[in-house]
Structure 1
Amino acid sequence: MSALTFDQVSVRYGAHTVLHEVSLEVGAGQTVGLVGESGCGKSTLARAAVGLAPLTSGTILLDGRPVPTRGRRPVQMVFQDPYSSLDPRMTVGESIAEALPGRPGRAARRQEIARLLALVHLDPSKAGDLPGQLSGGQRQRVALARALAARPRVILADEITSALDVSVQGAVLNLIRDMRRDLGLSMLFISHNLAVVRYVADHVAVLHAGRIVEHGPTARVLGDPRHDYTRHLLASAHPLKEHT
């Protein structure tokens, strides 16, 4: 288990400041929900953690040390659109194998791919399929398996259920909860939907116009919000049915 800390992080593109001195901690083994409307800077914060958005100021630390930007990446990101994040010309097995550390032999590689697919509740026989042969929910599970292949200490999940229908959303969210329980992963779970975050997160941070306006335990933030913007998000949230 590892802790990911954003300390006074700012990101600016030209004259436009996307993030304003954001401080947030994803505690070891915790799932922290980051919520806010489109354009508030949620994805930029996650992209900064994996080196895809340059910091204007501030630091991002993993267990008190700068997040490595070379070699093995202990922080892995899963993107919103699983189809665009997977190479359509590569089989499921090839995509997962590409993320495996080291150079395992053929048998070990096949065994590890099968293990990762089973971990995300997919039949290992899917290793030979192309992304276009899978449903949206299955592709998102493959994207999760690919992220897990790198043996990360922290997962950044960026709107990973927003493109899925409600029944598939529930199955993927149950998978997220299972992963957290079984693997002890720390996770930043990004969403505009507070109902989804309520289901998976221990703590919630509310991002508005590039600033954290509220942060605390999920039950407190969603049960007794102290900021008008949080109340606005709650008023527009839709209930999520639990699926098993």
Structure 2
Amino acid sequence: MSVLSFRDVSVCYGSHTVLKGVSLDIAQGEIVGLVGESGSGKSTLARAAVGLAPLTGGRILLDDRPVPTRGRERPVQMVFQDPYSSLDPRMTVGESIAEAMRERLGKQARRAEIARLLALVHLDAARADDRPGRLSGGQRQRVALARALAARPEVILADEITSALDVSVQGAVLNLVREMRRELDLSLLFISHNLAVVRYVADRVAVMYDGEIVEHGPTTQVLGSPQHEYTRHLLTAVPGAAHRASAGNRHDVLSPTPKEHT
């Protein structure tokens, strides 16, 4: 069973400490939500896991081994917030996905694998020949997910992947995230400032404030009976969220349309 572990992770930029001894585990097949306001350190934690932020202290491990951040085999993949900047506008969808593949396949096998990955994110195989400029924001984010899957990861770090999308499209992408976990047994760290979104997809929630995790536990517990003042502060920004969480109904926050192709 693959477990991504952050062990006392610290990140400093000069005299500014962004992360302060953060510890968190994401088990195989689990979605862990990481919530907090802008500047709390959420994205830095994910960037550290893929080698984009230098560790000042601590370790990041996959099955008790250091996470590889170089070379073609990278078992931890990150999907970024902005679907409009995450893909090279000069490359076709197929070329972007193929670039992330571990193996160098022949032309026919490569097209078949690209078609399979696009099908996983509910896009037609014909989209492989399009450039990002012809896609909507929701379609681009689906391509970014397909590109991450092309590397055959064990863990995906999803950094605010719905925040730049329309509400109707958000629901479709969230349904896709849940489907990916179910069908591929993937582990996901789902980063968001939106508690309603996290509540819909996450098994557990970690609340980050000023570079530290101040509360952590099952989603219904943390959002239904928050123990930390900062968690309660976040919940007050979501109208009716505390009442819904205490009712234990995860599906009344969002009602996405299944398999939306937007």
TM-score normalised over the length of structure 1: 0.98
Residue 138 (structure 2) pairs with residue 137 (structure 1) = yes
What is the Cα deviation at residue 203 of structure 1? 0.3
Distance of 2:234 and 2:127 partners within structure 1: 38
Q: SS where residue 2 of structure 1 aligns?
A: coil
Amino acid at match of 2:117: L
What is the Cα deviation at residue 237 of structure 1? 2.2
Q: SS where residue 204 of structure 1 aligns?
A: strand
Q: Which residue of 1 aligns with 2:28?
A: 28
Q: SS where residue 25 of structure 1 aligns?
A: strand
Distance of 2:111 and 2:20 partners within structure 1: 45
Q: Which residue of 2 aligns with 1:241?
A: 254
Root-mean-square deviation (CA), in Å? 0.9
Distance of 1:241 and 1:28 partners within structure 2: 25
Q: Which residue of 2 aligns with 1:60?
A: 60
Q: Is the 8 A contact 2:50 2:77 kept in 1?
A: yes
Residue 225 (structure 2) pairs with residue 212 (structure 1) = no
Q: Which runs of 4+ in 1 moved over 4 A?
A: none
Distance of 1:23 and 1:225 partners within structure 2: 19
What is the Cα deviation at residue 96 of structure 1? 0.3
Q: Is the 8 A contact 2:158 2:190 kept in 1?
A: yes
What is the Cα deviation at residue 102 of structure 1? 1.7
Structure 2 unaligned blocks of 5 or more: 242-252
Q: Is the 8 A contact 2:33 2:204 kept in 1?
A: yes
Q: Which residue of 2 aligns with 1:226?
A: 227
Q: Is the 8 A contact 2:215 2:227 kept in 1?
A: yes
What is the Cα deviation at residue 241 of structure 1? 2.3
* Count of residue pairs the alignment pairs up: 244
What is the Cα deviation at residue 2 of structure 1? 1.5
Structure 1 unaligned blocks of 5 or more: none
What is the Cα deviation at residue 69 of structure 1? 2.2
What is the Cα deviation at residue 85 of structure 1? 0.9
Q: Which residue of 2 aligns with 1:49?
A: 49
Q: Is the 8 A contact 2:208 2:214 kept in 1?
A: yes
Deviations 1:23-79 (A, max 9, x none): 001112100000000000000000000000000000000011110122210000000
Distance of 2:30 and 2:63 partners within structure 1: 14
Distance of 2:238 and 2:26 partners within structure 1: 24
Q: Which residue of 2 aligns with 1:201?
A: 202
Deviations 1:146-188 (A, max 9, x none): 0000000000000000000100000000000000000000000
Distance of 2:8 and 2:220 partners within structure 1: 26
Distance of 1:28 and 1:118 partners within structure 2: 23
What is the Cα deviation at residue 223 of structure 1? 0.5
Q: SS where residue 180 of structure 2 aligns?
A: helix
Amino acid at match of 2:198: V
TM-score normalised over the length of structure 2: 0.92
Q: Is the 8 A contact 2:200 2:254 kept in 1?
A: no
Q: SS where residue 46 of structure 1 aligns?
A: helix
Percent identical among aligned pairs is 76
Deviations 1:92-118 (A, max 9, x none): 000001011121000000000000000
Q: For 1:112-151, what aligned pairs fall within 5 Å after superposition?
A: 112-151=113-152
Distance of 1:102 and 1:137 partners within structure 2: 28
Between 67-76 and 190-199, the greater mean CA deviation after superposition: 67-76
Q: Which residue of 1 aligns with 2:7?
A: 7
Amino acid at match of 1:180: R
Q: Is the 8 A contact 2:216 2:222 kept in 1?
A: yes
Amino acid at match of 2:64: G
Q: For 1:167-206, what aligned pairs fall within 5 Å after superposition?
A: 167-206=168-207
